[in-house]
Amino acid sequence: MEKNTIKKHFFKWLSDGINDGSMTINSSSSLVHFVDEGVFIKTPSIFRRFIKQNKDLNITHDDIARILIEKNLFNLNKKGLLVFSYYVEGNKKIVLHGYLFKLDLLTINKSQIINNLLLTKCSHQGL
């Protein structure tokens, strides 16, 4: 399967999961969170779930990450890195790591999106 098709398949899978409720958002166990900067996905967990649910693609979670990174879909922080970190409100010991991308890559009802107010971007990074 070509890279552009895999990219489209990933974002369709993610959008469908958000729309039908099979992909939880903004909860403590969620792999997807809406934040001020866009959509935050926990990596590599989100890629592992995608591969597990799409075994017919015959690629690894590293492959999907590499393909999406090559497409320049993710935001970079001020240090030029892909990985963003967020503290869970009230507990600076719990930190989530992952990638950020723009909301317009998802096909969802954007008027119903509520940002996760329990996540605070770690102060050692920025957009």
pLDDT value for 124: 65
Per the structure block, which two tokens stand in for 24?
């939880």
- In a domain, residue 43? The reply is yes
Residue 109 identity: N
Which residue range(s) make up the domain with 102?
3-121
- In a domain, residue 33? The reply is yes
- In a domain, residue 127? The reply is no
Closest CA to 55 of 107, 13, 25: 13
Q: What is the pLDDT of residues 52-95, one digit of tens each?
A: 999 999 899 999 999 998 888 898 888 888 899 998 887 667 89
- In a domain, residue 126? The reply is no
pTM for this entry: 0.90
Number of structural domains (the chain) is: 1
